[in-house]
Amino acid sequence: MSGYRVAVVGATGNVGREILNILAERQFPLAEVAAVASPRSTGDIIDFGDSGQELKVKNLEHFDFEGWDIALFAAGSEVSKIYVPKAAAAGCTVIDNSSLYRMDPDVPLIVPEVNAEAIDGYRAKNIIANPNCSTAQMVVALKPLHDAAKIKRVVVATYQSVSGAGKAGMDELFEQSRNIFVGDANEPVKFTKQIAFNVIPHIDSFLDDGSTKEEWKMVVETKKILDPSIKVTATCVRVPVFVGHSEAVNIEFENEISADEAREILREAPGIMLVDKREDGGYVTPVECVGEYATYVSRIREDSTVDNGLSIWVVSDNLRKGAALNAVQIAELLGRRHLQKAA
């Protein structure tokens, strides 16, 4: 049977499970798939999406990457630091979801709708990086507008769901919400402040200039993926939503572009679903994007405070486009452009 031997590392986590779901959903051409995780999950049985197939979790510490075509890593930077170089050295091409290799000049940082051709540089280290979830959905929306009118500056405020902080983040929102209703104590553990019925303007660690690492990632990754000349400033906020990141994006262009033109461009753009009616409910919220592949754009309007300005609202399932879907799309692109093992 033709197809790829694919290992999913971190298969028991939020993103790892989603990667398995999407590989099954999109009928990725597989000869074999392995669910790989830390020793504590070894031997667990997990579903391979809705395929009816079950996978027995293999121990990462003993897993031999030799003979495997692609490894999709979704286990965080600490695990990637140890095992990604091992997998790459064994001839297995790694698609890494952690932040570890994103800014490495020898590692392509890929969003297939935006910079597919950059994948050709993967051979330098046999590693391809998956961008930060909030960056991924934003550049999908920015790319066709940049092609049309050249973006000078982007100001973005994010409204990021707790699933971006893993299962512990989702559990904390659930527990705190319940505790508040019944009058129990709700001390924060995963987050720095109460997340239920609150918003927290702090994601990842603080840097010397007062920004957070999440904000820095959005700046440098957008430049690497889209165009180094674009100026970006971000404020990243955690909100009490389980799944789905939202972004209020203000864009300043070199050239003239109207809201109507932007709407026409985005309606045709790959990976985008335009839902923009100027009426009650004529926009998309995170609840509606869960489980969907698309990046949704709404609320397109002109900003008269700058020359050639637009404001847009961008929403996407962060576990999908922001992580798992993008990783699988990279694997599909790698297969088409380079590995060519599928019939």
pLDDT at 30: 96
Beta bridge partners of 56: 45
pLDDT at 339: 87
163 among the known binding-site residues? yes
Report DSSP letters for 307-337, one per residue: TTEEEEEEEE-TTIIIIIHHHHHHHHHHIII
Band of residue 80 on the pLDDT scale cut at 50, 70, 90: very high
Question: Sign of torsion, CA 42 47 49 51?
Answer: positive
Amino acid found at 170:
M
14 among the known binding-site residues? yes
* pLDDT beyond 70 at 1: no
278 among the known binding-site residues? no
pLDDT at 33: 97
What CA–CA distances, in Å, run from 127 to 61, 72, 102, 105? 20, 10, 10, 11
Mean predicted confidence (pLDDT) in 29-52: 95
Of 133, 146, 236, 289, which one is the catalytic site residue? Answer: 133
Give the position of tokens 């971000």: 234
308 among the known binding-site residues? no
CA 40 – CA 129 distance, rounded (Å): 26
Beta bridge partners of 73: 9, 96
Band of residue 325 on the pLDDT scale cut at 50, 70, 90: very high
Q: Is 245 a catalytic residue?
A: yes
For residue 163, give the DSSP letter: G
pLDDT at 340: 85
State pTM to two decimals: 0.95
Burial classification of residue 197, based on how many CB atoms lie within 10 Å of its CB (0-12 exposed, 13-18 middle, 19 or more buried): exposed
Cβ burial 38-64 (10 Å sphere, 16+ → b, else e):
beebbeeebebbebeeebebbebeebe
pLDDT at 343: 57
Band of residue 321 on the pLDDT scale cut at 50, 70, 90: very high
> Which of residues 272 and 1 earns the better pLDDT score?
272
Tell me the per-residue pLDDT of 132-178, one tens digit each, with 9 for 90 and over.
999 999 999 999 999 999 999 999 999 999 999 999 999 999 999 99
CA 226 – CA 13 distance, rounded (Å): 29
- Nearest CA among 98, 144, 104, 96 for reference residue 121: 104
* pLDDT beyond 90 at 2: no
Of 92, 146, 236, 245, which one is the catalytic site residue? Answer: 245
What CA–CA distances, in Å, run from 163 to 14, 51, 136, 167? 8, 24, 16, 6
Band of residue 316 on the pLDDT scale cut at 50, 70, 90: very high
27 among the known binding-site residues? no
Q: Is 62 a catalytic residue?
A: no
312 touches 262 (CB < 8 A): yes
* pLDDT beyond 80 at 342: no
pLDDT at 341: 80
Beta strands in 144-275 (DSSP E): 151-160, 231-238, 245-253, 272-274
Tell me the per-residue pLDDT of 221-257, one tens digit each, with 9 for 90 and over.
999 999 999 999 999 999 999 999 999 999 999 999 9
* pLDDT beyond 90 at 213: yes
Residues 6+ apart with CB under 8 A from 232: 153, 154, 155, 156, 218, 219, 222, 223
Tell me the per-residue pLDDT of 86-135, one tens digit each, with 9 for 90 and over.
999 999 999 999 999 999 999 999 999 999 999 999 999 999 999 999 99
Percent of the chain scoring above 90 in pLDDT? 97
